[in-house]
Amino acid sequence: MGRFSGATGLVLGVANDHSIAWAIAKEILGEGGRIGFSHLPDRPDDERQRNRRRVALLTDPEPNAAFLVPMDVSSDDQIASVIDRGRQEFGTIDFVIHSIAYAPMEDLKGETTNCSREGFRTAMETSAYSLLAVGRMARTILSKDSAILTLTYFGGEKVVPGYNIMGVCKATLDACVKYMAYDLGPAGVRVNAVSAGPLRTLAGRGAGVEDMLGLYEHMSPMGRNITHEEVGKAGAWLVSKESLGITGEILHVDAGYNIMGSPGRLLNLVRKPGE
């Protein structure tokens, strides 16, 4: 009997086996939880259904993976359809994991100041508003003492060059977590976020994760980078009954990088001889 035996939930936005959401889902599945998954919709002209296929390779072998359906978070109808599928499959659910973010590459790569109006709207709607939309619809099937978890990043708290407009989106997402925690608290629903250090993920490649890995390794108090498994365990804990007193929090899983007010041990690498 695992700690998620009898628990059910939705994991929204797994892209492939490197996704943080999949690392969390694996922990839950491994401890008896049942999960319904969503994936990015495939283009109509993509006969190979690449997005679905990548996720299906992960979920098909899992006996506790209840379903896999496409979802475009810019469509309220599609969000509602996934929630309805969860209702049909489970009745009520105990957790929702939101792992959805996107910005047009031309807007993400350029200066934040130069982000286009349409790019800003798309990035903000997909990366931040989608949490509100999912939470609003999921509250109808969330059980008491349930949890919503989203994934954020330190670039929403401090300037991280290269993260650009996505940092603005994550700052908004962080605020959404806190206000949703207040709104849903009386119903016994907790809302939290995990802020992971850099990991090799599909989203991370677009945000320059390779440049960040060396920096975190030298600056973090633990002197290393984190692993997918560490984030997976932390995220699973936040949606488990072991964290019932926690809501509105951003849990940093970054080997302590976020506490640093100076480059720390990195200075030892840049000091000139004799200094």
Domains of the chain with CATH codes: 8-268 (3.40.50.720)
Active-site residue, 129 included: no
**C-alpha span between 46 and 200 (Å, rounded):** 26
Given a cut of 70, the residues of the chain with pLDDT beneath it are 201-209, 270-275
**C-alpha span between 146 and 240 (Å, rounded):** 8
pLDDT of amino acid 208: 57
Q: Identify the active-site residue in 163, 179, 182, 216.
A: 163
Indicate the pTM of the whole model: 0.93
- The contacts of residue 103 (CB under 8 Å, 6+ apart) are 119, 122, 123, 126, 127, 165, 166, 169
pLDDT of amino acid 47: 74
Q: Identify the active-site residue in 153, 179, 182, 257.
A: 153
Is 206 within 8 Å of 155 (Cβ atoms)? no
Tokens matching residue 194? 């995990």
117 phi and psi angles, rounded to 5 deg = -60, -45
Active-site residue, 102 included: no
Residue 256: count other Cβ atoms within 10 Å of its Cβ: 17
